[in-house]
Amino acid sequence: MSASDDLLRNNERYAAGFGHGQLSAPPARSVAVVTCMDARIDPAALLGLAPGDAHVLRNAGGVLTQDVLRSLAISQSVLGTREVMFIQHTGCGMLGAEDEEIAAAIREKTGAAPDFPLLAFEDLEQSVRAAIAELRAAPILAHRDAVRGFVYEVETGQLREVV
């Protein structure tokens, strides 16, 4: 039995008691959260979110990419979000890594090299500050004034705002 098969069985139990079909697409709290895909991060639990509360965008490193910017533009202009929480975290695998090392690992496992930037970073707070500055300057975002950045401490569960 694979992990996916176990998860499909979990979905059957979830669907049997499903009660969120009436939720609208626009998030009730009008907020979008950008964070890392790290399995130690549970955005709903750490922020007290319920289904329908927020858009949550995740990727390796919780970095600002063109796709994150695209999703945030749609989230704001089409689905009514007005705030962005940008959250990176301690102990991130992208922190202190080198794009070349990550690309080599991918090439070793697959035989193919990525043809896109991998966006590793050296300084956690500086990475958050740079992303916030870029978001606040992005002309395709309708609401740039309520963009805030944070570091999630995986060791304690605390969020620390980066100013």
Tell me, yes or no, whether 121 lies in a domain. Answer: yes
Q: Residue 3: what pLDDT?
A: 97
Nearest to 95 by CA among 143, 127, 52: 127
Q: pLDDT digit string (tens) for 8-58? A: 999 999 999 998 888 999 999 999 999 999 999 999 999 999 999 999 999
Q: Residue 6: what pLDDT?
A: 95
Show the domain range for 64.
23-162
Tell me, yes or no, whether 15 lies in a domain. Answer: no
Tell me, yes or no, whether 81 lies in a domain. Answer: yes
Nearest to 76 by CA among 48, 45, 34: 34
Q: Residue 41: what pLDDT?
A: 98
Tell me, yes or no, whether 6 lies in a domain. Answer: no
Q: Contact at 8 Å (CB) between 151 and 160?
A: yes
160/151 Cα distance (integer angstroms):
5
The dihedral built from the CA positions of residue 116, 67, 58 and 47, taken in this order, carries a sign that is: positive
Half-sphere exposure of 131 (CA within 13 A, CB side): 31
Distances (CA, A) of 146 to 21, 65, 118, 119, 123: 30, 19, 27, 24, 23
Tell me, yes or no, whether 86 lies in a domain. Answer: yes
Exposure b/e, 41-51, CB count within 10 A at least 16 = b: bebeeebebee
Show the tokens assigned to 43. Answer: 């955005």
Q: pLDDT digit string (tens) for 83-138? A: 999 999 999 999 999 999 999 999 999 999 999 999 999 999 999 999 999 999 99
Q: What is the pTM of this model?
A: 0.94
Tell me, yes or no, whether 16 lies in a domain. Answer: no
Total of domains in the chain: 1
Tell me, yes or no, whether 92 lies in a domain. Answer: yes
CATH number at 129 reads 3.40.1050.10
Tell me, yes or no, whether 97 lies in a domain. Answer: yes
